Amino acid sequence: MLETPAAIISPPLSMTWPRFGQPLRLGIMASGSGSNLEAIARSIQRGDLHAQIQVVLYNNPGAGVAERANRLGLPTVLLNHRHYPSREALDQAIVQALGAHGVDWVVMAGWMRCVTNVLIDAFPRRVLNIHPSLLPSFPGLRAVEQALAAGVKVAGCTVHQVELEVDSGPVVMQAAVPVEPGDTPATLQARIQVQEHRIYPAAIALAAAEQSGL
Ligand code: GRF
């Protein structure tokens, strides 16, 4: 019997990660449980990703990501979007917090807010996002449900550079997984998340390497 591959990752995960003179100084933005934050932090702890997490910004009081960051010993800043008059005003506060913590790469890990040029222009080509679909298919909310409803046989996740349009921008890395008979949004999401945790740290290294010409 032919075995279904667990995932196809492109570009392939490299065994020799690019090294930088100085560790990348990451600012993580998250709204939810923070499992991608933890995957990135563990990759750094293992010595795979040469980086340090300067700060974790989150927008939902009580979000799991805050507790996770505390457990990992990472500084957090709550920027509750409900307290800002506009998206731009929130992004100004975000840029200020990132600057105050010496961040040079912005990593959106389940950040459930649209961002504006205020953030994008402050970190040109240095804002990354992860999305649970093979972009450009199924941008926006409930991507896994969208994929199931469309009846696709292969799903996955994408790390990409952030541009103004939601879930657009140059692709850095993708992982594809099979959709299995009887999949629910939860089972497919879980299969995709395993791959998110594998590719995000590698994609950060890859994006930084591409930019520094390594
Ligand atoms: C991930 O599935 C990611 O693709 C999406 O939001 C989710 C965040 O999960 N953008 P977590 O908070 O990292 O567990």
* C-beta 191 within 6 A of ligand 1: no
CATH assignment at residue 78: 3.40.50.170
* C-beta 34 within 6 A of ligand 1: yes
Domain coverage including residue 28: 22-124
- Report how far Cα 8 is from the mean position of its chain's Cα atoms: 18
**Which numbered atom of ligand 1 lies nearest the CA of 34?**
12
Catalytic residue among 50, 83, 101, 131: 131
Whether residues 119 and 134 fall in one domain: no
Q: What is the pTM of this model?
A: 0.95
For the stretch 7-32, what's the b/e string if a residue is b when 16 or more beta carbons lie within 10 angstroms of its beta carbon? Answer: bebeeebeeebeeeeeebbbbbbbbb
* C-beta 110 within 6 A of ligand 1: yes
Residue 131 annotated to the active site: yes
Whether residues 120 and 136 fall in one domain: no
Please answer whether residues 125 and 161 qualify as being in contact, where contact means their C-beta atoms are separated by less than 8 angstroms. Answer: yes
* C-beta 133 within 6 A of ligand 1: no
Q: What is the pLDDT along the chain (214 residues), one digit of tens a residue?
A: 556 668 999 999 875 677 667 999 999 999 999 999 999 999 999 999 999 999 999 999 999 999 999 999 999 999 999 999 999 999 999 999 999 999 999 999 999 999 999 999 999 999 999 999 999 999 999 999 999 999 999 999 999 999 999 999 999 999 999 999 999 999 999 999 999 999 999 999 999 998 887 6
Listed residues 100, 124, 148: the one ending a domain:
124
pLDDT at 213: 72
Write down the number of H helices and E strands in the chain: 6, 8
